[in-house]
Structure 1
Amino acid sequence: MKTKFNQFILLAFFALLSFTACQNEETQVINPSEQETIVPSSALAGLMSNTTANYGAYDDVLDGSPCFSIDLPVTIVISDITITIESEEDLDELEDLFEQFEGNEDILDFIFPITIIFNDYTEIVIENEGQLENFITDCDDDEDDVIECIDFVYPISFSVFNADFDIIDTVTIENDEALYHFLEELEEDDNALIVSLNYPVTLEYANGETIEVNSNEELAEAIELASNDCDDDDEEYECNEDNITELLVECPWDIDDEFNDFDDYQITFNEDGTLEISEDDATSAIGGNWELTATDDGLKLILSDLTAFEQDLGGIWIITECDDDELIIERGDFTIELDQDCDDDEVDCSVGEIYESIVECAWLFETNLIDTTVAVYVYFTPDGQILNANADGTESVIGAWELTLTGSHIYFDFEFESEFEVLNGLWKVAECEDDELYLINEENYIQLYQECDDENPFECYETDGIELVECDEDADGYAVFNIYEAVPDCSSQNTLIISFHTTEEGAVSNTDILEVAQAYSSISNPQAVYVKVALFDNQEEFYIYPVYLISENCSPFECFESFEAVIEKCDEDNDGIEVFDLTVAFSNCTPSAEVVTYHETEADALNGINAILYPEAYTNVYAEQILFIRVQIENQTEIFPIFLYLEDCSQGVCAEGDVDEILAECFWIPTSFNGDDNLIDWVLNFEANSQAVVMTNGETAVTATYTTSGSADGVIVEFSNITGPDIQVLTGSWLVVECSSEFLHLQNGDINLILERTCD
């Protein structure tokens, strides 16, 4: 069976069918033979059209109509379970799911609108169930016009001639839909153009075998033979001894009988003729032997030496039906269905099991998208709400949840409120255990731990106290603290309420609430505050421990000490002299200083004499020179060096094409921004031909825009639309003053930027 989905319709080449312009170039004159010419309305053209038509019956499990297929993906609802069908494999899963609802009619509901695709690739948007039923009722069942068991192997090409047999074009076809429309337009052509198929052409049968044809006659014969052999029931799998043998050893098999006696068991057939029958949770398996034999009565599967299962499963079984993942075997009046279980990517839980577990009790909630230093506990209610425990003992609604099944994968669909909105969307269940769920969304995760019971819910919090130390920025004896840092990451079977208090008595009486615990300004040094951990279900049961807030004096020169100030410039005239703006060296630090002066010698800086009068326009003395900045803060003075470097700009200058090429290779790190390495943690990934650059710093990712252009001074790299913190300083136009495959030196006015390549 072939699957036809809605594809991009390539109609551009049909312009040649109304080709009227004169040819200005010499063309080759060839007389195509009748064996190669595709004649409109001919039997061959009809066979080719039927072979490439959209096979509407492949998804009849969805719509029951062979006249059209449904454009995927499509979302359906079965017994309150939302399922997204994305592929033919998902349709197979859907058939298996229908078996669980046997006898329950009309269990499938579409989420409209949907799009249906007819055999000629015409598309119609369906807005409701009534419209869909009308099209199903009007179907004349022209399925037999579609040949689904043979396919062209693409690409194929046609030569197009005019009446004088001059080649005016060659058309390349890439897929069934394009070929179908090409033949359709050929029927409607009024320009007497001649089209011949370029051989050889390869065809592929439904069983995967291929055939090469070299003429129209061979092509027509191959398609006719295949269409005569097409099974009306679309059964592709051939039940012969070789195929079944290969199938048996491919994966384990689930056992399904009418009494459901073996629902928890699997059979594994080994290539050496042995087998194991294992139970879901068992650590050992029951062994045995198997043999497959072809007889006049059909294929027989012989199971022997099964010990405890000999009476139930041992003996000679006739294989009465087979598919590429299912076998029906019979022994007398006893029938068993064997279903292949190969999907290692599926989680161990079903939708029903996850639903039953998720509403059972509270869950400890962790994610990389939200700071969950404080334990967050949530409840998933059966009516689809997500609740959070408040400090006052109440519960508040923070969102909604729904389970969905897409193909073989299970998803949580979250709609959170307030600070949890960043978690909205679909989260795939990647791991599933009795008391733990691991959900993923691209590179992000949510970890859920079930918390139902614990003998000592405060064991993790038993401590004599925790010290938090912060810098006293303004030297007033106080500092700002995040008291959540004093709450350990504890897992508990009970839902707990965490609160913060300025006194121990207040913690006991639930008064003296400490506000803004994430940014609390201390009122003494040291200061003790108190953390209270109480059971949500019984707030009379609690534990209190102190947190000591300690403010420490910080060096007012910490910013100046954090990096080495380097100013690099291009020696434009190659004379060893340029004008430097010394104030940019520590521009991010000087706002905190009271007095700043610049000096040519360290002795002058120490003595506070001979200050440079115009530091914004200083002309260097040497190509490599050290100057000194004298900084006074709060009656304290420190001296720091500034390094000046001149570079020969005549070396290493690249053309625009060179810059484009090297930027697209590997990744680039801004190792120096005017001598400061504060951007060194950012990584720039320039995406070739897209004018996009992805900037990442740990968990922060920013997609910005860059362009390159030529100018009289050299190549210009311009950054725009940068929204991330710190990295915004790259916004603007930068002149490439030096480049290599490993190194780029850029300038924006007096600001110098160094990018270095890394391929890690």
Structure 2
Amino acid sequence: MKTMKILAIIALTTLTIFTSCQSEENEQVGTNPNANSSTSQTAENYERTAMNDGSEDDFLDNNSCTELLFPLTATINGQEITLISSLDYEKVLEIMGEFNDDDDTVIFNFPIRVKLSNYTELTVASEADFNELKTQCEEASNAMEEAISCVNISFPITMLTYDVNIEQTGTVVVQSEEQLYNFMTDLNSDEYFSVKYPITVTLSDGTTVQVNSDAEFQDSIEECTSYEEEEETAEETADEVEAIISKSKFKVESFIEAGINKANEYADYTIEFTNDLKLVARNTVNTTLENIEGTYSVSSDIKVFLNISFASNTALSALSNDWIVTTYTSTMVTLQSKTDASVTLTFKKI
């Protein structure tokens, strides 16, 4: 009797395991009329999103298709510097940011090593070879084949694979961008895939989004690339504004606070924006007064900002603010407080 019970338990356990496996198999294997081919828009979206992003060091190599590999040596505005890691970028940015009216020059000590969009590592022997890589990147950009860097996928994600009859053949768990890129580029013409949604992505503006379909993934890409275009436009505008104010003197044309124009309080002062990001305010009526010094910086996201900073105990301390550039010409810059839209400031060049 005891033996019979044991056999019964074994049989029941085997049946349970078989049923469980069969259930799991049913979850994995089936047909999917929405499976994507290797040449589909979804395949292109995931391939480009998974490409190696070389944009972090664009201020050095001006090439978003290549990632500079360490160590490397370059001469920045006449100063030779060896970069051991990305932490050394700060040194480069300090050299480049010393003056805002100079043309920054970067001369690499070749050979250098780079990683391409397809994760291939390459030794670049000369400037001519380096320029050829830039040309190839520009061509890829014009053909909309460069990396999409404004969408970051949270891994792991799961890909379901299908044969030419759209019968599921298996699943692939992808742990990284490089694995995803290899998965997409290794697909044959008779192989199909679908993404097991939902997945989570982070856009370049910091927004985290849950994506539930191929169409929503496409929408996320369109949203973030549009945001990138706005960022690029704002960056160009910031450069123009900085060029207008650098090494120039201004008067306060208007300063409206609490509905009152207080420009008369600053009528005796000229404010110079130097090319090393300093402010020098001079009293042109009482020249015995010491100059008032401060600092400024121009930045952007999809808007352009002018940060002005004077010491809190000076005659111009009220002008200290994070300002949004609302309009500008070659002789006039109009600003609005970032935190209080009712506060505005207008500088007029003299």
* TM-score, scaled relative to structure 2: 0.56
Q: 1:596-637: per-residue Cα shift (whole Å, max 9, x none)?
A: xxxxxxxxxxxxxxxxxxxxxxxxxxxxxxxxxxxxxxxxxx
Contact 2:99 2:277 in 1 (8 A): no
> How far apart in 1 are the matches of 2:79 and 2:318?
41
Name the aligned partner's letter for residue 140 of structure 1.
E
> How far apart in 1 are the matches of 2:101 and 2:115?
29
> How far apart in 2 are the matches of 1:261 and 1:104?
13
Name the aligned partner's letter for residue 274 of structure 2.
E
> How far apart in 2 are the matches of 1:298 and 1:71?
32
Contact 1:38 1:197 in 2 (8 A): no
Residue of structure 2 equivalent to 1:355: none
Residue of structure 1 equivalent to 2:286: none
Residue of structure 2 equivalent to 1:34: 33
Q: Displacement of 1:260 after TM fit?
A: 6.3
Residue of structure 1 equivalent to 2:119: 121
Residue of structure 1 equivalent to 2:274: 258
Structure 1 pair 108/93, CA: closer, same or farther in 2 (3 Å)?
A: same
Structure 1 pair 94/80, CA: closer, same or farther in 2 (3 Å)?
A: closer
Structure 1 pair 183/305, CA: closer, same or farther in 2 (3 Å)?
A: closer
SS in 2 for 1:65: coil
> How far apart in 2 are the matches of 1:301 and 1:112?
39
Residue of structure 2 equivalent to 1:154: 155
Residue of structure 1 equivalent to 2:315: 310
> How far apart in 2 are the matches of 1:305 and 1:101?
22
> How far apart in 1 are the matches of 2:79 and 2:311?
45
Q: Which of 225, 228, 234 is the aligned partner of 2:226?
A: 228
Name the aligned partner's letter for residue 97 of structure 2.
E
Q: Which structure: greater strand fraction?
A: 1
Q: Displacement of 1:62 after TM fit?
A: 1.3
Q: Displacement of 1:258 after TM fit?
A: 0.7
* TM-score, scaled relative to structure 1: 0.28
Aligned-residue RMSD, C-alpha: 4.4
Q: Which of 46, 53, 56 is the aligned partner of 1:55?
A: 53
Q: Which of 329, 332, 350 is the aligned partner of 2:347?
A: 332
Q: Is 1:180 matched up with 2:177? A: no
Structure 1 pair 217/139, CA: closer, same or farther in 2 (3 Å)?
A: closer
Q: Displacement of 1:172 after TM fit?
A: 1.4
SS in 2 for 1:151: strand
Residue of structure 1 equivalent to 2:171: 170
Name the aligned partner's letter for residue 207 of structure 1.
D
If asked which structure has higher relative contact order (CA below 8 Å, sep 6+), I would say 2
Residue of structure 2 equivalent to 1:206: 204
Spell out the pairing of 1:559-638 with structure 2 (5 A cutoff).
none
Structure 2 gaps of 5+ residues are 1-20, 236-271, 280-291, 295-302, 326-337, 339-343
Contact 1:206 1:236 in 2 (8 A): no
Q: 1:142-196: per-residue Cα shift (whole Å, max 9, x none)?
A: 335432222211111112344677654321112222212211111xx15x34422
Q: Displacement of 1:93 after TM fit?
A: 4.7
Name the aligned partner's letter for residue 129 of structure 2.
Q
Spell out the pairing of 1:698-713 with structure 2 (5 A cutoff).
none
Structure 1 pair 156/126, CA: closer, same or farther in 2 (3 Å)?
A: same
Structure 1 gaps of 5+ residues are 1-24, 238-255, 264-276, 280-296, 322-326, 335-760
SS in 1 for 2:25: coil
Name the aligned partner's letter for residue 83 of structure 2.
T
Residue of structure 2 equivalent to 1:84: 83
Contact 1:148 1:230 in 2 (8 A): no
Q: Displacement of 1:210 after TM fit?
A: 1.0
SS in 2 for 1:207: coil
Q: 1:123-147: per-residue Cα shift (whole Å, max 9, x none)?
A: 3211233322343355434335432
Residue of structure 1 equivalent to 2:73: 75
Residue of structure 1 equivalent to 2:251: none
Percent identical across equivalent pairs? 21
> How far apart in 2 are the matches of 1:302 and 1:163?
63
| Range with greater deviation from structure 2 (67-76 or 40-49) | 67-76
Structure 1 pair 234/180, CA: closer, same or farther in 2 (3 Å)?
A: farther
Structure 1 pair 141/65, CA: closer, same or farther in 2 (3 Å)?
A: farther
What is the count of residue pairs matched by the alignment?
251
Contact 1:317 1:330 in 2 (8 A): no
Q: Displacement of 1:83 after TM fit?
A: 3.0
Structure 1 pair 84/235, CA: closer, same or farther in 2 (3 Å)?
A: farther
> How far apart in 2 are the matches of 1:31 and 1:150?
30
SS in 2 for 1:140: helix
Structure 1 pair 93/155, CA: closer, same or farther in 2 (3 Å)?
A: farther
Contact 1:318 1:331 in 2 (8 A): no
